[in-house]
Structure 1
Amino acid sequence: MKYARAIAFAMLAGATIVSTGCSVARQQQSVGEYVDDAGITTAIKAKMAEDKNVAATSISVETLNGTVQLSGFAKSQAEKERAEAIARNTKHVRDVRNSVVVRP
């Protein structure tokens, strides 16, 4: 049973690496640009996780060429705006597109 979890995790990690490599080629980004975008995404998610006013698990963050796309659900307009502010105030972010939906 323990080995099944390890194998499943290894397969998931391998699939992630393969899909990551494909996305660099498909979107015509250099490896350096991709690494920068991944760093931006990671920094934003970390800041959201630290902020008690933002549910980081409910908001997705994707970055392409310095443009950040936020999507998912927020509990309030204030949470949506705070998520956008976090993204805008992160180093190397060029633009933020906020598609977060406020749930009633």
Structure 2
Amino acid sequence: MNSRALYVAFFLALSALLLSACGSSPQRESTGEYFDDSVITTKVKAAIFNHPDLAVSEINVETFKGEVQLSGFVSSTNDMNTAVRLARGVTGVTSVKNSMRLKQ
């Protein structure tokens, strides 16, 4: 093998290694998925914030691979249902897990 072919083989192997590191697994998001989830989280927070009846500071939003989890405290079951409905209406959301609790 000449030196040029050796360099080409080395860079192809290095590229394959780097690209495989960017892939996702069941427990870890790829770079693109992480960015998509950040956008979804921001859109869900904005939808909740723009609703006049919801206390956005008490509702936490987390997203993993399109699945949104809502947690925190709300004043009523109606507020809880409204937050879930707003989250489901955001583009890119695949499912919504409701972990919110009612204030005592």
Give yes or no for TM over 0.5. Answer: yes
Amino acid at match of 1:100: M
C-alpha distance in 2 between matches for 1:94 and 1:63? 10
Q: TM-score, normalised by structure 1?
A: 0.73
CA distance in 2 between partners of 1:43 and 1:91 (Å): 9
Shift of 1:51: 0.3
- Structure 1: 5+ residue stretches without partners: 1-23
Aligned-pair identity (%): 40
**Paired positions, count:** 80
Whether the aligned pair in 2 keeps the contact of 1:53 and 1:82 (CA below 8 Å) is no
TM-superposed deviation, 1:63? 0.1
Q: What is the root-mean-square deviation of aligned Cα atoms in Å?
A: 1.5
Shift of 1:66: 0.3
Q: Distance in 2 between matches of 1:41 and 1:72?
A: 15
Name whichever structure is richer in helix by fraction: 1
Q: Does 1:94 align with 2:94?
A: yes
* 2:75 aligned with 1:79: no
Q: Deviations over 1:1-41 (max 9, x none)?
A: xxxxxxxxxxxxxxxxxxxxxxx99x421110000000000
| Rg larger for | 2
Q: Distance in 2 between matches of 1:91 and 1:30?
A: 19
- Runs of 4+ with >3 A deviation: none
- SS of the equivalent of 1:39 reads helix
Cα displacement (A) at 1:74: 0.1
Partner of 2:18: none
- How far residue 54 of structure 1 moved from its aligned partner, in angstroms, is 1.1
